[in-house]
Amino acid sequence: MNDYYGYTGKTLTVNLTTGTWMTGILPQELAVNFLGGKGFGAQILFDRLNSGVDPLSQENIMVFATGPLTGTPAPGSSRTVMSTKSPLTGLWLDSNCGGFFGPELKQAGFDILIIEGRAPEPVYILIENDRVEIRPAGDLWGQDTFKITEKLKARHGSRHMTACIGPAGEKMAPIAGIVSEYRTFARGGGGAVMGSKNLKAIAVKGNKDIKLNDPDIFMRVLKEVYDRLRTVSAIGGGRTRYGTNVILSSVNEAGIHPVRNFQKAVFDGRGRINEKELAEKYYVKNRACFSCPISCSKASKVAAGKYEGSFNEGPEYENVWAFGAQCGNSEMGAIIQAEYLCDKYGIDSISAGNITGFAMECFEKGLITEKEIGFSLKFGDDEAMLKFVELLGRREGIGELFSNGVASAAEEIGKGSGYFAIHVKGMELPAYDPRGVQGMGLAYATSDRGGCHLRAFSVGAEVLSPAGKMDPLGTDKKAEFIKNNQDLFAVIDSSGLCLFAASSMSLEFIVKLMEAATGIKDFGSTEEVMKIGERVYNQTRMFNVREGADRRLDTLPGRLLSEAMPDGPAQGHVVQLEPMLNEYYQLRGWDQKGIPDSATLERLKI
Amino acid sequence: MTVTVTVKIYAYVSAYDGPREISVELPEDVAEAVNQLLAGPCSKLNMDWGSVNHLLINGRNYHLAVAEKTKLKDGDILSFVSMFCGG
């Protein structure tokens, strides 16, 4: 493969310690075996990092990788994946972002940007096609993400796409994210890693073409894809109008919408917080990422009440949950304001909301006091919730302890709080209670980056269960579904596509697009591509195994394993994890400790 | 024998402009009740992508309710929900 199609064929490595940068050729075998995005990160991190590296030390590296479809006309081709060792979990992290950063990086001529070392003083990286500069950022340090974005655009031009950290990243909060054009590489603490490197921002602008191997076939397939997207207008239409909140009432109705730190799963405040209310009273504008026909993102504004004037991109479903039901809050204005604060300070809103609910429960149980917090922190108190989020973002007062995540905070607080610290491997769980969708329990427990719903997502398949194939409250067929879904999602996260667009078009079309874009025959086979997904998932597993992870970490919080759901359709149920886990390991070719066996590694050429 | 149930219609059909919540009398047999519902008060929902694949009965999937031979009771809630495709 001398000429690259779909890919740019080039990598950029910036060493912040030495203040130097170099370009390289994308290795052919890396592309063929690991596809792109997450796959590239999985292989590069495994090769380059020794086990036991402190995530916040200069030895850690960050890999921003695009996929073969990033920046092409394929729908939802906006994605970049940032991989690093997580300061939140001490394990593998890949964090995915839409917007425009990835397509711009590719148009500048790079598939991959690797950041090494630590700058002696705050800096930002400027990439303009082949020109790369490491510039001082002393004047930017201490400022929030909105101001940084504005300043960089004013300085270099509005078409420069940025990724930056806020004060939380500078202070190396393990829940700090990297904000890019109002979207975020949110989960797992990538912002803290960037802060540890004294790297405030990256600004990129390019104008090179992304060459396609067979543009005619690509465009023909694209037409088929758009025809298909039109036939699933119930999906696209609903999401375009209601955003990701299209599922809000449905999740509540299914009894899996966690309330007050997963104490129950049907939220009584839903009357005031629902998708219809959001669309009619708060959404003011649709926003779309690069080449997206869905426009799931919304800009919202509070027109009246005590939060009048609050404005932000969002709120996403996860955040409506995180600062709504999770905190017992039914004041929509406060939810929008909370998400604004998360973006401003640069913290992961799922973790922030989960942590706030955890802190509220600690307070109500008398494990932390008003004196320690500085104010009363009861469930349902929207003003206290916002004050607490400010402390998390600024990493001040009690916010310093809690911005380490619930696992770390529970260890410090003790007194049994670990039982209701809702995380997996140190990463806070998102907005689906697995007691009512058992497969999600397995998905969370075996997620390579910790408590995450985007490594496998079985909610639709379980709750809607077309033709009665799965019972959400049973364990049958769950292991196979989750394993296959993880492999599929690893493919999508390596391709450069957004999960929403990809799940609307099906793998059959994705492989046609990838083959037409790259000319790589194997990418035209669903079987071969799924094998790449399996390889990527096993590679990240091996990264974690090397860090000491095994079955002991593939578990769930005590509450979800032993406290029966008190209400809704899943009343009386806990997660039955062990039988699903045994079957899952067997299907994966892992031993009962969760370690991939030699035959599996050999089969996948790892 | 008939029962009175509440039918809720959530955001999944963005073009749907009928009432989002109705009270309706239906047969207690689930399959029969849903057929009657989709032929009558919820006929606008009987779209080609299959309304019953988006129907929950007291939060449980319609197909499971049929398989379990569930009988409807007064006060039950039938919800036409959205696709669950992440958030």
CA distance B55 to B69: 16
**Whole-angstrom distance, CA of residue A457 vs CA of residue A476:** 16
Task: Decide: A322 and A350 in contact? Cβ < 8 Å.
Answer: yes
Per-residue pLDDT at B13: 60
Q: Is the pLDDT of residue A100 over 60?
A: yes
pLDDT in tens, A523-565: 999 999 999 999 999 999 999 999 999 999 999 999 999 999 9
pLDDT of residue B44: 75
Q: What is the CATH number of the domain that holds B71?
A: 3.10.20.30
A244: contact with B, CB 8 A cutoff: yes
Arch. (CATH architecture) of A10-205: 4-Layer Sandwich (3.60)
Handedness of CA A187, A193, A198, A203 (dihedral sign): negative
Burial A395-421 (b: 16+ CB within 10 A, else e): bebbbebbbbbbbbbbeebeeebbebb
User: What is the percent of chain B where pLDDT is above 90?
Assistant: 38
pLDDT of residue A469: 79
Report CA torsion sign: A379, A473, A446, A78. negative
* Strands of A414-471, DSSP E: 423-424, 427-428
Q: Positive or negative, the Cα torsion across A6, A8, A9, A15? A: negative
A264 pLDDT more than 70: yes
In 3-state terms, chain A is what percent helix, strand and coil (to 5)?
45, 15, 40
> Residue A199 — φ and ψ, nearest 5°?
-105, 110
Which tokens in the block code for residue A406?
């619930």
Question: Which residues of chain B have a Cβ shorter than 8 Å from any chain A Cβ?
Answer: 8, 10-15, 20, 47, 49-50, 53-54, 56, 58-61, 63-64, 66-67, 77, 79, 81-87
Predicted TM-score (pTM) above 0.80:
yes
Q: Domain residues of chain A, as ranges?
A: 10-205, 239-408, 438-603
Question: So what's the pLDDT on residue A227?
Answer: 84
Lowest mean pLDDT of A14-28, A151-165, A260-274, name the range: A260-274
Q: What is the mean pLDDT of chain A?
A: 95
- B57: how many CB neighbours lie within 10 A of its CB? 21
Would you say residue A187 has pLDDT above 70?
A: yes
Q: Poorest-confidence range of A20-34, A358-372, A405-419, B38-52?
A: B38-52
Categorize the per-residue pLDDT at A146 as very low, low, confident or very high, splitting at 50, 70 and 90. Answer: very high
Report which secondary-structure segment, H or E, holds B22. strand B21-27
Chain A contact set for B85 (CB, 8 A) = 235, 239, 247, 457, 460, 500, 503
Q: Does residue B84 carry a pLDDT above 80?
A: no
**Is A253 within 8 Å of B79 when comparing Cβ atoms?**
yes
- Total residues belonging to chain A: 606
Residue position matching structure tokens 């009512």? A436
Residue B87 included in any domain: no
Q: Which residue has the higher pLDDT, A522 or A276?
A: A522
Q: Report whether the peptide linkage leading into residue A315 is cis, meaning its omega lies within 30 degrees of zero.
A: yes
The CA distance from A477 to B30, in Å, is 25
Chain A residues with CB under 8 Å of B63 CB are: 465-468
Contact across the interface for B63 and A467, Cβ inside 8 Å: yes
Domain A438-603 has CATH 3.40.640.10: no
CB pairs under 8 A between A and B: 125
pLDDT at A236 over 60: no
Q: How far is A568 from chain B (nearest CA, A)?
A: 7
Q: Looking at the domain assignment, is residue B86 inside a domain?
A: no
Reference A175, options A72, A89, A244, A277; nearest CA is: A89
Those of residues 398-437 in A touching chain B at CB distance below 8 A are 430-431, 436
From chain B, pick out residues whose CB is under 8 angstroms from the CB of A267. none
What is the DSSP pairing of strand A10-15 with strand A112-116?
Answer: parallel
- Asked if residue A232 has pLDDT above 70, the reply is no
Task: Look at residue A528 and give its three-state secondary structure.
Answer: helix
End-to-end CA distance of chain A, in Å?
A: 22
Q: Quick one: what percent of chain B has pLDDT higher than 70?
A: 83
**How does DSSP assign A463-509, residue by residue?**
HT-GGG---TTS-TTHHHHHHHHHHHHHHHHHHT--HHHHHHH-HHH
A317's enclosing H/E stretch is helix A317-322
Strand boundaries in A353-486, DSSP class E: 423-424, 427-428
For residue B14, the enclosing domain spans 2-80
pLDDT, mean of residues A76-101: 97
Whole-number Å distance between alpha carbons of B21 and B79: 9
Q: Confirm if A145 and A346 have CB atoms less than 8 A apart.
A: yes
Which residue, among A112, A87, A115, A242, has the nearest Cα to A177 in the 3D structure?
A87
**Nearest CB partner across the interface for B56, out of A241, A242, A253:** A253
A270, pLDDT greater than 70: no
Interface check A468 vs B, CB under 8 A: yes
Is the pLDDT reported for residue A235 higher than 60?
no
Sheet order of strands, A10-15 included: A20-25, A10-15, A112-116, A62-66, A80-85, A92-97
Structure confidence by residue, pLDDT tens digits, A429-481: 999 999 999 999 999 999 999 999 999 999 989 998 776 679 999 999 999 99
Contact residues on chain A for B9, CB-CB shorter than 8 A? none
Least confident of A6-20, A98-112, A171-185, A233-247: A233-247
Give contacts of A430 with chain B, Cβ < 8 Å. 87
Architecture of the domain made up of A239-408: Orthogonal Bundle (1.10)
Q: What is the mean pLDDT of residues A14-36?
A: 98
Could you tell me the two tokens for A521? 């025959």
pLDDT at B16: 66
Helix (H, G, I), strand (E, B) or coil at B3: strand
Whether residue B85 is contained in a domain is answered as: no
Q: What is the pLDDT of residues A336-387, one digit of tens each?
A: 999 999 999 999 999 999 999 999 999 999 999 999 999 999 999 999 999 9
User: A462 with A472: CB under 8 angstroms?
Assistant: yes
In chain B, how many domains are there?
A: 1
Which SS3 state, helix, strand or coil, does residue A12 take? strand
The CA distances from residue A538 to A448, A598, B51, in Å, are 9, 12, 38
- Which amino acid makes up residue A335? I
CA distances (Å), origin A530, targets A34, A98, A460, B78: 11, 23, 21, 38
A571 in B contact zone (CB under 8 Å):
no
**How many angstroms separate the CA atoms of A453 and B86, rounded?**
8
Mean pLDDT of all residues in A283-291: 93
Does the structure show a pLDDT above 60 at A111? yes
| B20 Cα to chain A: minimum distance (Å) | 10
pLDDT digits (tens, 9 = 90+) for A199-227: 999 999 999 999 999 999 999 999 999 88
Tell me which chain A residue has its CA closest to the CA of residue B82: A247
CB contact under 8 A, B10 and A249: yes
B35 assigned to some structural domain: yes
pLDDT on residue A237: 63
The packing angle between helices A478-495 and A526-546, to 10°, is: 100
Cα separation of A204 and A14, whole Å? 14
